[in-house]
A = this chain, B = another copy of it.
Amino acid sequence: MTVKINENYLLLESNYIFSEINQRVDKYQDNNPEAKIIRMGIGDVTRPLPNAVINKFTEAVVEMSKADSFHGYGPEQGYDFLIEEIIKHDYAPRGINLSKEEVFISDGAKCDTANIQEIFDLGNTVAVTDPVYPVYVDSNVMAGRTGPMGDDGRYHNLVYIPCTEDNGFVPELPEKSVDLIYLCYPNNPTGTALTKEELSVWVEYARENNSIILFDAAYEAYIQENNIPHSIYEIEGAREVAIEFRSFSKNAGFTGTRCAYTVVPQELIGFDNNGNPHSVNKLWNRRQTTKFNGVSYPIQVAASAVYSEEGQKEIAESIDYYMNNAAIILESLSSLGLRIYGGVNSPYIWIKTPDDMDSWKFFDLLLDEAHVVGTPGVGFGPSGEGYLRLTAFNTLENTKEAMERISKLSI
């Protein structure tokens, strides 16, 4: 006998896009030590945690220093004090009623969106929009749902739903019926959003086809326009067909602090091979109680401060700051004649490369000539070829400087 590895891992692409980016940037910096490189590639926030969060966080750390206020193991699903704030502030005002048992606190939307597929059978057909956040794809590759990748850059058993200029970045219903559908809106990487009507089409599809939508709403706080749903549960009938992922990373700067949550409505059901229905909420509860041990108590306290009056005010200021950057990027690049998408309801700007340049060529051009780092769109899937992503998460000063430099290029 010998230990066999999970061979599905061998089907993964060996090169991470972000490590390839880092290698190119490091090489350029080595050869050009005087170049002041501005990084607008990775989707990480730069503004500190809100003061309201810091204050509560600190208080909770002090609680951990005394036996009578110390917290050991908490509930794997999260503390009620945080779950109640989430329901009260993120859902009730939009007319969405959730019970506490439907909200699961976690240490990240990345973990949740990667882990959620574990509770479903390997035989389900999975659909992703293309381009897409690579975690949805890779977690399914590792589980064994996708088969190998073809020469076209697509995994054989995965259904790709192209979102490009041609369809205005609105995903079209798949021809083949699919079981699990990952949707992320406002979208990473394209920065585009779906209106209520556009998202309703998918809820209706899921209801008719007994599919489940895995809805990643990590960027909902950036929504500026009125007709864009913040939660999929704003769409009637969505409770029966959708799981929603939310995070404190992008609204409150928790990328390095780690807190998120997932909503799994009680109505959601899946079937066993005998056709018997089973509660998806109970499956996720079992997954989390067995393979997870809850989020740090001080961090849950810190996250609850996001919902305080001061917290909400500070968060709004940060989002305004980033969205001002986004507006500057949109205006600067549009005035150059580039075709630009996103950036209105999201911190991501999706640029069509000039002259149909490929993604990496445009990446190199921006790095070499403007010392600005973006993310090549092709890294997010085949339909991302010919695009490049910039983020609004840098400082105002760096954002302006980057736009000035790009303006001087002959593109």
Residues of A within 8 A of B (CB): 1-7, 9-10, 12, 16, 42, 44-49, 51, 54, 57-58, 61-62, 64-67, 70-74, 107-108, 110-111, 114-115, 118-125, 135, 138-139, 142, 177-180, 209-212, 253, 255-258, 270-273, 278, 280, 283, 286-287, 289-299
Contacts of A115 in B (CB 8 A): 291
Task: List, in ascending order, chain B residues with CB within 8 A of A278's CB.
Answer: 5, 10
On chain B, the residues within 8 Å of A298 by CB distance are 57, 257, 298
- Chain B residues lying within 8 Å of A122, measured Cβ to Cβ, are 6
B-chain residues with CB within 8 Å of residue A272 when the two chains form the complex: 4-5, 7, 10
In angstroms, Cα B106 to Cα A291, docked, is: 13
Q: In the bound complex, do residue A7 and residue B46 qualify as a contact, i.e. CB atoms below 8 Å apart?
A: no
**Contact sample, A vs B, 6 pairs, CB 8 Å cutoff:** A1-B178, A44-B72, A58-B62, A72-B256, A110-B293, A257-B296
Q: State how many copies of this chain the complex holds.
A: 2
Chain B, Cβ-Cβ closest to A107? B107
Give the residues in chain B near A118, CB-CB below 8 Å. Answer: 6, 142
A273 contact from B7, B9, B292, Cβ within 8 A: B7
A65 touches B42 (CB 8 A): no
The 4 closest A-B pairs by CB, nearest first: A4-B121, A5-B270, A114-B291, A71-B256
User: Across the interface, do B65 and A51 meet the contact criterion of CB distance under 8 Å?
Assistant: yes
Contact B9 A119 (CB under 8 A): yes
